[in-house]
Amino acid sequence: MGLDIPKLFGTSGIRGRVEEEITPELALNVGKAISTYIGKGNKVVVGYDTRTSNLMLERAVSAGILQGGCHVLSVGMVPTPVVGYATMKLNADAGVMITASHNPSPYNGIKLWNPDGMAYLQEQERTIEKIIHENNFYKASWEDIGQITDISPVVNNYIEDLLGLMDIEPGLKVVVDCANGAAAYLSPLILRKAGCNVVSLNAQPDGFFPGRKPEPSEANLTELMKVVKVTGADLGIAHDGDADRMIAVDDKGRMADFDKLLALVSAEIGGCVVTTVDASACIDRALEEVGGTVERTKVGDVHVAEMIHMLGANFGGEPSGTWLHPQFCMCPDGILSALRVIELVQNKGPLSQLLDDIPSYPTIRDKIDCQEDQKNPIMRKAETDLSLIYEDVADINLKDGVRISFDDGSWVLVRPSGTESFVRITLEGKTEDKARMIHEKAAEFIHDLL
């Protein structure tokens, strides 16, 4: 496929500012491209989150799908995981979610899903880009234009199937912050049906996100942390705008360490778990204790999904809170992730204690200015020579940058930024001295090449 084809898809679908990168014309073309790709007569689930531009874009995408002779299964305003689930449950041929996830209000985006609820792979995204670039759309004749069907009742199936997976006793007190996003109605309802005593924050849908910004960062979750502490709740749960992510707050009102939380749930599920090259070694240690294994892949939930699919893994996720539960659906699901953490707290005790029991190791994150044309030569040299500057190398992983693991469990990752002019160094040392030594050597190695 030629290099002159403009790239529309980033690491998580098409995304940008409304009326700049994201327009009704683009949405129409994406709809037409989907129909062209999957073939006329097939079915596409379409959903959207709470953003002010969503109906405009949803109508445009749907028009494109209908023009290509495919049928729209309209699920309405729902979290992203419901679109993935509905695509799988109803044997649809594709799914479309209109969302910009954790980005601010002026942004929106389009994410595409496969029949098994897994996000489109990169090669599929390239095919959609090629169809749009070449204006090579199939157009149905008047008698073959597609139909729209309301499938909103599938949300009830989602709730039933989700609760059927869990074994939660009534009684835990949970504060859930929905960010005025797509889970505003659904997440508190499901947690109540699971038996939790729920306090909800920002649980009215509003595309201006008046309660807090949709990014579930520590700075944006101060209210949630205070409410958990003041109400004596067992834990807090926060979602991003489309609820494909989940962040937890412990019973002391502290935001849970992303890696430690992933390690706790991974150990509870056991077996083969997939995570990214930048995730902490505490996940490996937690899995070792229960006889499980960890496989690492490139940063990005699509890469995690691909490897889960390839290995038949039990579970996978990124430290960001994007977790995949393959026994349910291949779409990241923040509501199911919340239920997993609630079940863990019920079975094992206070979240604060569980997190504190996992040893913390000194961590360093650094970035070094690096021009775009220098990134490839530097990374090629790092692949062959970076490990030679250290003595106790146990493993080298080249899936996404260079990740070197050491005999004592320390590790370092050197990888180019995908969006900025930096090379990033991320590491975890067994001691402060070890962390400093690893960092100094890696930084010196890169500076010398520059």
Asked if 443 contacts 426 with a C-beta cutoff of 8 angstroms, the reply is no
Residue 261: which of 356, 330, 168 has the closest Cα? 356
- What is the spatial distance between Cα 194 and Cα 161, in angstroms, rounded to a whole number? 12
CB 176 within 8 A of CB 249: no
Among the three residues 152, 178, 201, which one is the final residue of a domain in this structure? 152
For residue 373, tell me if it sits in a domain.
Answer: yes
Return the closest-CA partner of residue 175 out of 251, 241, 110, 122.
251
Q: Are 290 and 426 in the same domain? A: no
- Single residue among 335, 356, 377 that ends a domain in this structure: 356
CATH number for the domain spanning 307: value is 3.40.120.10
Q: Are 370 and 421 in contact (CB under 8 A)?
A: yes
pLDDT tens for the chain, residues 1 to 450 = 445 899 999 878 999 999 999 999 999 999 999 999 999 999 999 999 999 999 999 999 999 999 999 999 999 999 999 999 999 999 999 999 999 999 999 999 999 999 999 999 989 999 999 999 999 999 999 999 999 999 999 999 999 999 999 999 999 999 999 999 999 999 999 999 999 999 999 999 999 999 999 999 999 999 999 999 999 999 999 999 999 999 999 999 999 999 999 999 999 999 999 999 999 999 999 999 999 999 999 988 889 999 999 999 999 999 889 999 999 999 999 999 999 999 999 999 999 999 999 998 999 999 999 998 999 999 999 999 999 999 999 999 999 999 999 999 999 999 998 767 899 999 999 999 999 999 999 999 999 998
Closest CA to 162 of 371, 327, 1: 327
The one-character DSSP state at 214 is S
404, β-bridge pairs: 396, 412
On whether residue 4 sits in a domain, the answer given is no
Q: Is 240 annotated as a binding residue?
A: yes
Do residues 189 and 286 both lie within one domain? yes
**Residue in 10, 6, 21 with CA at minimum distance from that of residue 57:** 21
Q: Which residues pair with 129 in a beta bridge?
A: none
d(CA 76, CA 250): 33
Q: Are residues 132 and 196 in the same domain?
A: no
Asked if residue 228 and residue 137 are part of one domain, the reply reads no
Asked if 163 and 135 sit in the same domain, the reply is no
Query: Does some domain include residue 287?
Result: yes
Q: What is the pLDDT of residue 300?
A: 85
**Same structural domain, 340 and 403:** no
Inside any domain, residue 202: yes
Are residues 107 and 175 both part of a single domain? no
> What residue type is assigned to position 308 of the chain?
I
In a domain, 216, yes or no: yes
CB 61 within 8 A of CB 96: yes
Encoding tokens for residue 131?
């169809």
Indicate whether 145 and 176 sit together in one domain.
no
Find the catalytic residue in 12, 101, 105, 320: 101
Classify residue 2: in a domain, yes or no. Answer: no
Is 320 tagged catalytic? no
Task: For residue 214, give its domain range.
Answer: 157-356
pLDDT of amino acid 419: 67
Q: How far apart are CA 173 and CA 11, in angstroms?
A: 36
Other Cβ atoms closer than 10 A to 448: 8
Q: Looking at this protein, which amino acid is placed at residue 111? A: K
244 is in an annotated binding site: yes
Residues 130 and 71 in one domain: yes
Read off the DSSP letter of residue 410. Answer: -
Does residue 3 lie in a domain region? no
Quickly count: other Cβ atoms within 10 Å of residue 408's Cβ: 14
Which of 152, 177, 211 marks a domain boundary?
Answer: 152
Domains held by the chain: number: 3
> Are β-strands 246-249 and 272-276 bridged in parallel, bridged antiparallel, or unpaired?
unpaired
Statement to judge: residues 125 and 36 lie in one domain: yes
Strand ranges (E), 18-82: 43-48, 71-77
Q: Same structural domain for residues 172 and 55?
A: no
> What are the beta bridge partners of residue 71?
43
Residue 101 marked as a ligand binder: yes
| Cα–Cα distance, 138 to 36 (Å, whole number) | 5
Residue-by-residue DSSP string for 115-149: TTSPBPPHHHHHHHHHHHHTT------GGG---EE
Closest alpha carbon to 51 in 1, 105, 13:
105
Is 242 assigned to a binding site?
yes
Q: Are residues 421 and 338 in the same domain?
A: no
3-state SS assignment for residue 418: coil
What CATH number is associated with residue 404?
Answer: 3.30.310.50
3-state secondary structure of 108: strand
The first and second tokens of residue 273, run together, are 């778990």
291 lies in some domain: yes
